[in-house]
Amino acid sequence: MAEQASALGSAATPSRRRVDTLAALLHEPKVIGGGGFILFLVLAALLAPLISPHDPLEQDLMSGALPPVGFAGAQAGFPIGTDDLGRDVLSRLIYGTRVALTVAFVAATLAAVLGTALGLLAGYFGKLTDGVISRLIEIWMAFPPVLLSILIVAIMGAGVASVITAIAIIDWTRFARVVRAETMAQAKADYVTAARVIGFSRFTILLREILPNIAPLLVALLTLEMGIAVIVEAILSFVGLSVSSDTPTWGGMIAQGRQTIYQAWWVFAAPLAALFATVLAFNQLGDGLRRALDPAMRR
Amino acid sequence: MSAELLRITHLSAVSRASRLPVLRDVSLEVGRAEVHGLVGESGAGKSTIAKAVLGILPQGISLTKGSIALGGRDLLALGSHERRRLLGAEVALIPQDPLTALNPGRRIEAQLTDGLVLWRGLSRRDAKRRALALLNEVQMREPERVLRAFPHELSGGMRQRVLIAAAFALEPTLIIADEPTTALDVTVQKQILRLIRAMQARHGTGVVFVTHDLGVVAQICDRATLLYMGKVMEEGSVEELLSSPHHPYTKALMAACPRYDRPGRGLEPIPEAVLAACRNEVAAFDGSLAND
C-alpha cells in the first residue's frame, strides 16, 4: 500500500504531471542532444541577417575559392572559405538553414496530418474504407517518389511551396501505414469496447480515446519525417527543382560545390556536413521523444 | 413477471466464415437484482451471449434467430440509435482485463465521468462529485488522488475497483460482468466478488456473470446457466445446480474442480464418455434443425 501511495503521489496535480513529462524529456540524452542542435539551427535561421559575417549573395571574384581557416591561403573573415564566385560559405550555410527548416517543419506536419487522418479512418472503420485507403497507399508507394516530386514541381513551378507540397503528397503514406496499424491494435483494446458500450459515437472514440494513445508514436514519426524532408529538399535543390538559385540552399550548395570539388572541396563538404548533422539530430530527437513520451517505457 | 429484466429466447448465432453454429437455441432469463452465472469452457459461447446483449458482436459472428429483450423491449428490433441510447443508460460492462480496459492516456476522472456527462447531462463538476462518491463506495483508498491518476499508476485490484465504479455510475438495471476476476490473483478476486455482490444488492442491479469457474459461481451467483458448444446443458438455482446436478456434464465439471481439502488426488479431466454424450446431444439438436 505504501508503494501505491508513493506512486500516486507523483500524480498530485495536473501541472505537476506536466512537469514530470518535461523532466522525463530532459533526462533523455537524445532529446537534449538532438533537440539542442535543432534549436541551435532554428536560432541560426531566425537570426541569419545578424550573425552572418557577409551577405550570402555578395560575389567577390578577387577572393574566390578561398580555403577555410587553418589552410594555406585562408583569409580572415571567411571561416570556412568562399566558393568559386567568392561568396562566403558560412553565410550561405546559415541562410540555407531557413529553407531547410521551413521545409522540414511545414512539409512533415502536412504529411503527418494527411497521413494520420487517412490512417485513423482506415484502421478504425475497416472494411471498404480500409480497402480503398490501403490500395491507395500501395499504389502511391509503387510510384517512384523522385519522379512524382519532379512531376509536382513541374506542374506547380519551382519554389518552396511546391517542394513542401511534393513532400507532403509523397510521404503521407509513411504516416498512414503506421497509424492504420496502430489504430487497429488500439481498436481491439477493451477500453475502446468500454467506450462503445457507454455509447460514444465512432468519431468521438477515434478522437478522444484512440488518437491520444498514438500521439507519442506520431511525435516520433513526425520528427523522423522532418529529417527525411530535409534530405528530399536537398535532393530537389541538387537537381535544380527547388527554390530559385538566388536563395542559398544546402542542396544547391552541394550541386554547385560538386563542380569545383577538386579546387574547393569545402564548398561541397560544408553543406554536406550540415545536412548530415541536421538529419542525425532529427533522428536522435525522434528516438528520444519516443522513449520519453511512452508512459510504459518511462516507468 | 415484473421481476424479469433480461429475457433471451431461442438465440442462435453462426460464425460467418465457417457457417458453424456458435450459439444453439439459447434461452435464459435474468430477474431484477439477480446475479446470473453463464458458465462454460472456452468456446462454449458465454462471451458471445454477453456481447450479443451489449450489441458488440465481432464482425465474424451473426445472429440467425431469437430475441433479446431488456425490460420487455426487444433489443434486436430497435434501430441502432435507439438501441445505443437504451444500452448506454441501462446496461454496463465490467470487462475481463482491468489492465487494458482503461484508456492508458486518460485520467481516471475523465473515464469515470464520461457516461455521466453523456447520458445524465451532468456538468463536469457534478460528475466529478459523483465519481468521488462512487470511488468511496467501492472502498477505494485516497479517492481524490485516484481521480487524478493515470491507469498505469494503479494496481490491478484498484483498476478493477475503478471499473466497477464506472459500471455502477449510471445506475444501470443490468451489468454484464465478463470474467471480471480472471486476471486477478485469488485474494483480490475474493474481495472483488464480495464488492460486486454488495454493490449489486444495494443498487438492485441484475448481473450476468460470465465465468468458467464454478467456485466463483458458488460465491456470487443466484442462478446459473451451463453451456457447452453454444447449447444450454443445465439451468437452475445455484444451490440446486451445485448440490444435485442433473446433467452428466455438470456432474463431471464439478468433479473436475481442484479440491484443496483432498491433497494427493490430482486433477480429474472430464471423462471422454461425458463429452461424447454432450457432443451427441449437440449433434442431435443440429440434426433436428436440418430436418425442419
pLDDT per residue as tens, chain A (299 positions): 344 444 444 444 445 556 667 777 777 888 889 989 999 999 988 888 888 887 877 777 777 777 777 777 777 777 787 877 878 888 888 988 888 899 899 999 999 999 999 999 998 988 898 899 999 999 988 888 878 888 888 888 878 888 889 889 888 999 999 999 999 888 888 888 888 888 788 888 888 888 888 888 888 889 888 888 888 888 888 877 777 777 888 888 888 888 888 888 888 888 889 989 999 999 999 888 887 876 555 44
Antiparallel, parallel or unpaired: β B61-70 and B4-15 = antiparallel
* A189 vs B contacts (CB less than 8 Å): 100-101
Give the gap in angstroms from C-alpha B158 to the nearest C-alpha of chain A.
10
What's the DSSP call for residue A206?
Answer: I
- Rounded CA-CA distance A65/A86 in Å is 6
Out of B95, B142, B153, whose CB is closest to A194? B95
User: Which element (helix H / strand E) includes B258?
Assistant: none
Using a CB–CB cutoff of 8 Å, tell me whether A2 touches chain B.
no
* B97 vs A contacts (CB less than 8 Å): 190
What's the DSSP call for residue A208?
Answer: I
- Rounded CA-CA distance A114/A126 in Å is 18
Cβ-contact A80, A89 below 8 angstroms:
yes
Q: Hey, what amino acid is at A216? A: P
Determine, for residues A8 and B166 on separate chains, whether the beta-carbon distance falls below 8 Å.
no
Report the alpha-carbon angle B5-B6-B8, nearest 5. 155
**Residue B75, Cβ density class (10 Å: 0-12 exposed, 13-18 middle, ≥19 buried):** buried
Determine, for residues B56 and A197 on separate chains, whether the beta-carbon distance falls below 8 Å.
yes
Give me the half-sphere count of Cα atoms (radius 13 Å) on the Cβ side of residue A179: 34
Structural domain spans, chain A: 27-298
CATH superfamily of A27-298: MetI-like (1.10.3720.10)
The share of chain B scoring above pLDDT 70, in percent, equals 95
Of B259, B263, B225, B275, nearest to B25 by C-alpha is B225
Q: Hey, what amino acid is at B72? A: G
Cβ-contact A50, A44 below 8 angstroms:
no
Confidence at B138, pLDDT banded by 50, 70, 90? confident
Give the gap in angstroms from C-alpha B145 to the nearest C-alpha of chain A.
7
Neighbouring CB atoms inside 10 A of A66's CB total 22
- Rounded CA-CA distance B89/A199 in Å is 8
What is the structure's pLDDT at A253? 86
- Rounded CA-CA distance B150/A16 in Å is 13
- Rounded CA-CA distance B161/B157 in Å is 6
- Rounded CA-CA distance A69/A74 in Å is 5
Total residue count of chain B as it appears in this document = 292
- φ and ψ of B223, to 5 deg: -130, 165
Cβ-contact A116, A98 below 8 angstroms:
no
Chain B: residue whose CA lies nearest to A199: B88
- Rounded CA-CA distance A194/A43 in Å is 47
Question: Tens digit of pLDDT for each residue in B193-235?
Answer: 888 899 889 888 999 999 888 888 888 888 888 888 888 888 8
- φ and ψ of A52, to 5 deg: -70, 135
DSSP reduced 3-state for A184 = helix
Question: Which residue in B153, B158, B174 has the most chain A C-beta atoms within 10 A of its own C-beta, making it the best mutation to test that interface?
Answer: B153
* B162 vs A contacts (CB less than 8 Å): none
* B103 vs A contacts (CB less than 8 Å): 191, 195, 209, 212-213
- Rounded CA-CA distance B270/B247 in Å is 13
- Rounded CA-CA distance B204/B33 in Å is 5
Chain B: residue whose CA lies nearest to A197: B88
Output the pTM of the full model. 0.72
**Three cell numbers at B236?**
437452475
Using a CB–CB cutoff of 8 Å, tell me whether A199 touches chain B.
yes
DSSP reduced 3-state for A29 = helix
Out of B93, B104, B111, whose CB is closest to A197? B93
b (16+ CB within 10 A) / e for A4-42? beebbeebeeeeebeeeeeebbeebebbeebbebbeebe
Q: Hey, what amino acid is at A3? A: E
Chain B: residue whose CA lies nearest to A15: B148
User: Which element (helix H / strand E) includes B68?
Assistant: strand B61-70
Determine, for residues B118 and A199 on separate chains, whether the beta-carbon distance falls below 8 Å.
yes
What's the DSSP call for residue B23?
Answer: E
- Rounded CA-CA distance A274/A44 in Å is 12
Using a CB–CB cutoff of 8 Å, tell me whether A196 touches chain B.
yes
What are the angstrom distances between the C-alpha of A160 and each of A24, A99, A114, A156, A266? 36, 7, 19, 10, 26
Out of B104, B118, B149, whose CB is closest to A8? B149
Q: Which residue has the cell 480515446?
A: A209
- Rounded CA-CA distance B230/B15 in Å is 12
Q: What is the ipTM of this complex?
A: 0.70
Chain B: residue whose CA lies nearest to A196: B56
Determine, for residues A212 and B105 on separate chains, whether the beta-carbon distance falls below 8 Å.
yes
What is the structure's pLDDT at A9? 42
CATH number of B4-291: 3.40.50.300
Chain A: residue whose CA lies nearest to B142: A5
Give the gap in angstroms from C-alpha A294 to the nearest C-alpha of chain B.
10
Using a CB–CB cutoff of 8 Å, tell me whether A188 touches chain B.
no
* Chain A, window 111-140: residues with a beta carbon less than 8 angstroms from a chain B beta carbon: 126
Q: Hey, what amino acid is at B292? A: D
DSSP reduced 3-state for B67 = strand
Question: Which residue in A20, A191, A207, A217 has the most chain B C-beta atoms within 10 A of its own C-beta, making it the best mutation to test that interface?
Answer: A191
Give the gap in angstroms from C-alpha A186 to the nearest C-alpha of chain B.
10
- φ and ψ of B2, to 5 deg: -70, -15
Q: Hey, what amino acid is at B155? A: S
Give the gap in angstroms from C-alpha A184 to the nearest C-alpha of chain B.
14
Of B245, B192, B201, nearest to B222 by C-alpha is B201
**Three cell numbers at A273?**
556536413
Q: Hey, what amino acid is at A101? A: L
* A195 vs B contacts (CB less than 8 Å): 103, 114
Chain A: residue whose CA lies nearest to B52: A197
What is the structure's pLDDT at B22? 85
Determine, for residues B54 and A1 on separate chains, whether the beta-carbon distance falls below 8 Å.
no
- φ and ψ of B70, to 5 deg: -115, 115
Q: Which residue has the cell 475497416?
A: A126
Q: Which residue has the cell 486477478?
A: B184
Determine, for residues A198 and B114 on separate chains, whether the beta-carbon distance falls below 8 Å.
yes
The yes-or-no verdict on residue B31 having pLDDT over 70 is: yes
Out of A4, A193, A200, whose CB is closest to B118? A200
Determine, for residues B105 and A12 on separate chains, whether the beta-carbon distance falls below 8 Å.
no
Radius of gyration of chain B measured on its C-alpha atoms: 20
* B117 vs A contacts (CB less than 8 Å): none
Q: Which residue has the cell 423491449?
A: B73
Question: Which residue in B103, B106, B119, B142 has the most chain A C-beta atoms within 10 A of its own C-beta, making it the best mutation to test that interface?
Answer: B103
Using a CB–CB cutoff of 8 Å, tell me whether A1 touches chain B.
yes
Cβ-contact B55, B81 below 8 angstroms:
no
What is the structure's pLDDT at A132? 93
For CA atoms B148, B150, B153, B157, the dihedral sign is positive
Average pLDDT rounded to a whole number, residues B266-286: 76
